[in-house]
Amino acid sequence: QHADDGGPQPEKHCGHGRGGMGESVTRKEDKRFITGRGNYVDDIKKPGMLHCEIVRSPHAHARIEDIDGSRAMALDGVVAVLTADDLLEHDLATMPTLMDDTQDVLVNDKVKFQSQEVAAVIAEDRYTAKDGAEKVEVEYDVLDPVVDAEEALKEDAPLIRDELEDQEDNHIFDWDTGDKEATERVFEEADVTVEQQMEYQRLHPAPIETCGAVADWDPGKDKMTVHMTSQAPHAHRTLFSQVSGIPEHKVRIVSPDVGGGFGNKVPIYPGYVVAAAASYVLERPVKWIEERSENIQTTGFARDYDMTGEIAATEDGVIEGVKVDVLANHGAYNAAAQPSKFPAGFFNIFTGSYDVDAAYGSLTGVFTNTAPGGVAYRCSFRVTEAVYLIERMVKVLADELDVDPAEIRRRNFIPSDAFPYESATGWNYDSGDYEKALDKALEMADYEHYREEQQRRIEEDADKLLGIGISSFTEVVGAGPGKQCDIAGIEMFDSADIRVNPTGNAVLRIGVQTQGQGHETTFAQIVAEELGMDVDNITVEHGDTDTEPYGLGTYGSRSTPVAGAATAVAARKVREKAKSIAANELEAAEEDIEWDRESGEFRVAGAPDRSITITEIAAGAYMNHPGDEEPGLEAVNYYDPPEMTYPFGSYIVIVEVDRETGEVDFEKFVAVDDCGNRINPMVIEGQIHGGLAQGIGTAMLEEVTYDDNGNVTGGDFMNYLLPTANEIPNFETGHTVTPSPHHPIGAKGVGESPTVGSPPAIVNAVVDAMSHAGVSHVEMPMTPDRVWETLDEAGLAI
């Protein structure tokens, strides 16, 4: 199967000591990060640079009567106060969102969420800009807000988007998926049905670095350069050009080092546009950097799904049908960052790892007076919500039937010989072996032992209950086939460009943009593997639209499935040309040249002593190129994946629940992941650890909350609680390898799996500790008081 040009490479053939596939190469980027030499947007300083501070609304819903910037302008060092009127002159008062809505850059008429952008103060330094912002006087006519999605749909709810023609209420969309009638029939005839309502609370990605930009209009070259925190520089360039009217070849977006993205840096935010508009008008560079609470309160949030799930099954626990109804709070604009054609992202993969006959999902999207967003935070376009739904529902069913939750999964898994598998909602799963991953996790967790221990504690009326939670999730990543997936009309392919230098080293340029995932190392490993080069001899460049090939960016764990494939294909093109140069150098026929993956050398068939390395070939390409070939050694590939990839895993979480305090302690945390062939096991391990920590934050701590007046009450790190080393247990990780059959190197994505897969395992564990007393659900975040209340209601509290 390890054909040089086609099939995926089995893992056992990987690792030849050159830093290729399967080797835990130390991350190249870490040298500069850990020695303080990273270069983030706020590190960029340009001569004559001005600073921008945004004036934000204290109200969630209010009409602007007047804005008076005169007291701000009177401050020494304030250069300009910008309002919507100023932007209107340049046609920049509004901007399109990624879901075809229109968002105010600076509020023109009516504020629609707290902290929305109302005006901007531009000053010589940051402190003056901030002082100036405090002196801008805005007169508001305060209106009643509505922050809850259910309330927003009521007839007497205030109309938020009254500027839109034909918008009579706060309803955005109804969307459904699956076969409604077939599903109803299955439910009518089923032995057993279970139902559970659950909320996936509003979260915020909270990367360490907030969002920001340095915009620099050069009137000499008519060129706009924007350094910005972007997960998708090329897509942002195209949108920037469309919004501003500046031709695309005169716009350069540079995304330098990015201090975490987690989906927060996919959308375009008003701050970026204001900085660019200010630079254009004032003809000086302008920097805008968000503060922490601005980031949490205004930029792309995550989740906020209110879901009601139902399962129909036989009395033996064989699942026949799944139904789900969702109310989705999208905030004041429909601005989710996801492929344009999917109003609910990839939520419709909600049948998960199970072979289900019929499924039906219906969703309603709603405007509220809250910040816009919805798709972020390691979510794979809302697969987080889908996995939470199905993995929680399976536990509900297991408890209803009194069947072991591991056993019930086994009875329903899509069998490993059923792939490629088409799900009831139309997804084409490429490969999987769910039982293998679950078995491995059960063994690592010492499952039987803990089940006995759990029973013992119940019988002895122990102060601390034991709970065991499982999640056997399936992900879908690698958007996407261009025909299905686009961003603002641009097909979601990706790209790689490899140039081999005369001295035998190479530069790889990729269309994706790392925010900490380690692409400078792992993408070099793909080239090392495919060309027999040493990984140290390959430099990876990304994030500059002037030099990199066009790509759609890093999110939805698509870098490996799409740009990783492009890199492998481009490297194989280089290898083909290298063969012809090898033939020339070795004075043999091209057909007789073989490439040996193990040694990385090109050889004459049947004459193993006549061989040549890629370094010698590189020299030949520039110094002695064959007459019938162009000189040089390089290749480009734009890769449109035929299908997405379906990583999966089984997580087992064992918790102790304190009956006196409601506190939850992690006793054991096992994560078995399968992302197909692995490029760098150590990088994968890092991704898993970080993602599991975020899963714990999700399940136990994090939530953005609003009061009835629309004030954000969870909008800073005093109230939005991120997990720290104190809350994070020791993770035990394991893996299985089920290669993707259609990916050139058999790899699937992994970046989001741990955050997608872990919250239901954690909630299942806490519920499991109390299910003998009839508890079927605890909402996230599972704070001690919430858990204690549940214990109390179940008669378990002491």
Interaction site with ligand CUM (CB under 6 A): 231, 261-263, 266, 375-380, 555-556
Q: How far is the CB of 565 from ligand MCN (least distance, A)?
A: 10
SS3 call for 560? helix
Active site residue 338: no
Which residues lie below 8 Å from residue 245, measured CB to CB, with a gap of 6+? 91
Q: Which candidate in 231, 297, 525, 687 is catalytic?
A: 231
Pick the closer one to ligand CUM by CB: 677 or 753: 753
Query: Which of ligand MCN, ligand CUM, none does residue 595 bind to, with CB < 5 to 8 Å depending on kind?
Result: none
Q: How many Cβ atoms from other residues are within 10 Å of residue 362's Cβ?
A: 16
Can you tell me the distance from the alpha carbon of 135 to that of 75, in angstroms, rounded to the nearest whole number? 9
Query: Which of ligand MCN, ligand CUM, none does residue 260 bind to, with CB < 5 to 8 Å depending on kind?
Result: ligand MCN
Q: How far is the CB of 561 from ligand CUM (least distance, A)?
A: 12
Pick the closer one to ligand CUM by CB: 204 or 603: 204
Q: How far is the CB of 495 from ligand MCN (least distance, A)?
A: 14
CB 130 within 8 A of CB 120: no
Q: How far is the CB of 494 from ligand MCN (least distance, A)?
A: 10
Query: Which of ligand CUM, ligand MCN, none does residue 375 bind to, with CB < 5 to 8 Å depending on kind?
Result: ligand CUM
The H-or-E segment that residue 670 falls in is strand 664-674
Active site residue 752: yes
Q: Which candidate in 23, 53, 702, 752 is catalytic?
A: 752
Pick the closer one to ligand MCN by CB: 69 or 511: 511
Can you tell me the distance from the alpha carbon of 444 to that of 670, in angstroms, rounded to the nearest whole number? 7
Q: Which residues pair with 327 in a beta bridge?
A: 306, 364
Query: Which of ligand CUM, ligand MCN, none does residue 687 bind to, with CB < 5 to 8 Å depending on kind?
Result: ligand MCN
SS3 call for 397? helix
* Helix 753-770, helix 383-401: angle, nearest 10: 30
Pick the closer one to ligand MCN by CB: 262 or 731: 262
Q: Which candidate in 18, 27, 161, 378 is catalytic?
A: 378
Phi-psi group of 121: left, alpha or beta (phi > 0 → left; psi -120 to 50 → alpha; rest → beta): beta
Q: Cis (ω within 30 of 0) for the bond into 480?
A: yes
Of 517, 556, 567, nearest to 685 by C-alpha is: 517
Active site residue 379: yes
Q: How far is the CB of 352 from ligand CUM (least distance, A)?
A: 18
Can you tell me the distance from the alpha carbon of 559 to that of 567, in angstroms, rounded to the nearest whole number? 10
- Strand ranges (E), 314-381: 319-329, 358-366, 373-374
**Which residues of this chain interact with ligand MCN, rule CB under 6 A?**
207, 260-263, 378, 515-519, 522, 554-560, 675-680, 683-684, 687, 690, 747-752
Residue 206, burial from CB neighbour count under 10 angstroms (0-12, 13-18, 19+):
buried
CB 160 within 8 A of CB 112: yes
Pick the closer one to ligand CUM by CB: 380 or 495: 380
Query: Which of ligand CUM, ligand MCN, none does residue 584 bind to, with CB < 5 to 8 Å depending on kind?
Result: none
Q: Which candidate in 14, 379, 485, 675 is catalytic?
A: 379
Which residue in the block uniquely carries the two structure tokens 């076969």? 179
DSSP character at residue 706: B
Can you tell me the distance from the alpha carbon of 531 to that of 500, in angstroms, rounded to the nearest whole number? 10
Pick the closer one to ligand MCN by CB: 14 or 396: 14
Q: How far is the CB of 87 from ligand MCN (least distance, A)?
A: 31
Query: Which of ligand CUM, ligand MCN, none does residue 19 bind to, with CB < 5 to 8 Å depending on kind?
Result: none
The H-or-E segment that residue 570 falls in is helix 565-586
Pick the closer one to ligand CUM by CB: 662 or 751: 751
Query: Which of ligand CUM, ligand MCN, none does residue 676 bind to, with CB < 5 to 8 Å depending on kind?
Result: ligand MCN
Active site residue 242: no
Q: How far is the CB of 326 from ligand MCN (least distance, A)?
A: 21
Residues marked active site are found at 231, 378-379, 752
